[in-house]
Amino acid sequence: MSEKIWIILQKSNHLIAMETKISYNTVEHVFAIFQHRRWFSVPPAVPKKIDTIRKEENMMTTLYEGAFAKVNLTLDVLGKRDDGYHDLKSVMQAISIRDDIEIDVDTDAPWTLQCSMADVPQDNRNLAWKAAETFYQVTGLKTSGLAIRIQKRIPTQAGLGGGSADAAAVLRALNQHYGNPLSILALAEIGAQVGSDVPFCVLCGTAMVEGRGERLRKLPDMPDCFFVVCKPDFSASTPELYKKLDESVIAHRPDNQAMESALLAGDLEKVAENIWNVFDPIVTQEHLEMNYIKSIFNTYGAIAYQMTGSGSAVFGIVTEFEHAAVICNMLKENYPQIYIAKPI
């Protein structure tokens, strides 16, 4: 039996409804995985686009902005710098897994931050708070109070840039609220003061990222595909991974030039051939379940798969939604944090 469903896929700050047909059993499985994450629903009509919105009550204004996850199509560590950071070179891709950010401006009260995940810092340690502080410091603008609320969907400690995405969303929302006093590039420069991945998360899309993350070059859009993202229960320590990388010889490095050429040609197969992350072999060696996750990706139709960032999430590139749904069905029992996304 086949049934029509609507798949809600996020692109930029908009929702897009795409109609597809898959088997009824698959629909049941997909709904079981994703319904509580709001990824799938059956709307009565094509949903309205979601943009940054203002709602004025008295003098307070509420802003709404989406915060989008990223994956590393390539990730190379070139060496340790004098300041203790490492020089990186990575092709990053924004994907449609998103957090939702609400900001009350001019609250006439002390600053607050609330997050739907209890283990996320809910004070000035949070990158979203730091982004707001930095924005006001750089622009010289004033507010009588700020309240930030974060509805988390991006898994934490996954290499998906969730905290950086939240910070970038705060910067975009505040900048728009005050009439865009800063260009998008200036906003990305502010983001570099907050966190290494924030500049990319301000811009989104596809980009070559270098240095500590502050140097970006826009690349052609990722060819159309689906991403399946699976977050295992464990998390990897980023400082420990860098230490191990510093003490080892990197046997294989990504070919960033080949990846850029594949994107220029719009060749998804070549993109898939050139994904590589120098952290992947280290984490896979220590956590053998990564091999199991990758084997499911390989068996059920992914054309490429690897860990993103310093982990521990693994993503696969899939050309057909049906394949993505099957992969999710195979992994959902052991790994409930599993998502289907689109490049944005």
- Cα 39 from Cα 184, distance rounded (Å): 29
**Residue spans of beta strands (DSSP E) within 195-300:** 206-211, 215-218, 226-230, 276-277
CA angle, 154 then 155 then 157, to 5° = 125
- 70 catalytic? Reply is yes
Helix (H, G, I), strand (E, B) or coil at 304: strand
The position carrying tokens 């930095």 is: 134
Asked if 60 and 105 touch (Cβ cutoff 8 Å), the reply is yes
- 99 catalytic? Reply is no
Q: How many CB atoms lie within 10 A of CB 245?
A: 18
Give me the sign of the Cα torsion angle 26, 27, 30, 31: negative
Give me the sign of the Cα torsion angle 123, 154, 307, 217: negative
Q: Which residue stretches of 142-211 are H helix?
A: 162-177, 184-194, 198-203
- Cα 53 from Cα 169, distance rounded (Å): 13
**Parallel/antiparallel/unpaired status of strands 146-151 and 206-211:** unpaired
- Cα 161 from Cα 145, distance rounded (Å): 27
Q: Identify the active-site residue in 152, 197, 294, 342.
A: 197
Name the residue among 71, 85, 7 with its Cα closest to residue 42.
7
Q: How many CB atoms lie within 10 A of CB 164?
A: 27
Q: How far is CA 332 from CA 8, 54, 98, 336, in A?
A: 19, 38, 19, 5
For the chain, counts of helices (H) and of strands (E): 11, 14
Q: Catalytic positions, please?
A: 70, 197
